[in-house]
Amino acid sequence: MEYMNRTNKLNNRKETILFFIISLLFFVTITAFDPFISSYAKELGFDSVVIGSIIGISGIVALLTRLPLGVLSDMMHKRRLFIQVGLLVTIVLWTLAFFIPNATTLYLGKISDGLTGSTWVIYNVMFASYYGVKEAAKAVAILSVASPIGSILGTTTGALVANSYGYRYSFLVAVAAAILALILTCFTKDLSVKDIKVKYDKKILVEQVTDKKIWIISALATVALMVTIATRDTFTPLVATDLGANPLMIGMLANTHLVIYGVAAALCGGFFYKKIGLVKTAFIGAALQGVIVIAIPYAQSLSMLFLLQAFQGFGYGLIFTVVTSWAVENIPEIKQSTRLGLFQSLYSGGMFLGPVLIGILIEMFSRTTGFLIIGILSIVSTILIRGTVKPAADEVYPFEEMMMERK
């Protein structure tokens, strides 16, 4: 019996390592080209509105698909198939964008980015199945590390390739990562299909959709994300290009945001939550991100732009970590994918609204005006945090009381 338990633990450990590698490749797949899309589109002669809509289309796709995927995941308990389909879509459409570079194929590529990105809900649920119900939270925490590491790997590799061969060759980095991930999924086991004792109830969907808290929290996440996608992933690279940055430096600029974002997220639970609480942490994050975004167009050098990017990443790390904490805390397992799918679907609107809005503002007025309005939106969101979130936050995430109980 002991031998069998030891063997099962060893097999599960191999599964978790393999699946973690697949998750890293997933983030390489959806980030390898991100810092260079706007610069490449500008090279092709597209205006700011088109560039913004190309970047933002993945947000619309995610908005429409994340919740259905979360619900289907809870209902069908088939995880691996969803993951494989997402990777296959990326392989086909980004290969097409590489060989036939035009606005249509770039739109299709970003559509595939939205579809593939939507399967991240499934990755979390499938990875948790290797740990079991009691250690599901630990599994999600471990898998969350794949996001910054995989994103840095993706943007760095994409930057090196783009710098050597051209912007569109970063598409092939994404395709290669997706092919390797697809092959590796064939060696994984979908353990989540087994031992499902509770059937999915459609009332769960109604319950989550009618929960006012998730809508308020998602609105905050939407603003935080729309500011980040509009700047870091869309028009900040163009500011960098004007200051003389090459593709490698543009990639490093994106990595600066990612690294500092990760640092801020790591400090939330162990420092900010304990010292000032979630509401004040979110308030500082939203305000800081807004102020920095307003300053970005005025950067006189690349070193100043890197510094501003770092501060923006820190602000984003604070606000987005808090809203994610509020969204998933104290939710039963059978409802997790649905709630997370709804949360991610709602805030995905920011992935579309941010780039499109700033693109329109830049085309109508100026780049400085576009950054100004986007930054003001982030600052204004602090009113929502102070005015409406605090009562919900105290119910959903009574962090201070929990710390007192542990002491």
Q: Each residue of 205-230: pLDDT tens digit?
A: 788 888 888 898 899 999 999 999 99
**Cα 401 to Cα 274: distance, rounded to the nearest angstrom:** 10
Q: Are 251 and 35 in contact (CB under 8 A)?
A: yes
Cα dihedral sign for 311, 366, 155, 337? positive
* pLDDT at 321 exceeding the cut of 90: no
Mean pLDDT, rounded, for 292-315: 97
95-153 pLDDT per residue, tens: 999 999 999 999 999 999 999 998 887 887 788 777 765 665 556 657 767 888 899 99
* Rounded CA separation 215/308 (Å): 30
Domains of the chain and CATH, by start: 7-189+200-406 (1.20.1250.20)
Residue 341, φ and ψ in degrees, nearest 5: -65, -40
Helix, strand, or coil here: 225? helix
Q: Is 105 helix (H, G, I), strand (E, B) or coil?
A: helix
29-66 pLDDT, tens digit per residue, is 999 999 999 999 999 999 999 999 999 999 889 888 88
Q: What percent of the chain has pLDDT over 70?
A: 83
Model confidence at 399: pLDDT above 50: no
Residue of 40, 125, 122 lying closest to 86 (CA atoms) = 122
Backbone angles phi, psi at 170, to 5 degrees: -65, -20
At 359-383, the pLDDT tens digits run: 999 999 999 999 999 999 999 998 8
Alpha-carbon gap, residue 202 to 57, rounded angstroms: 29
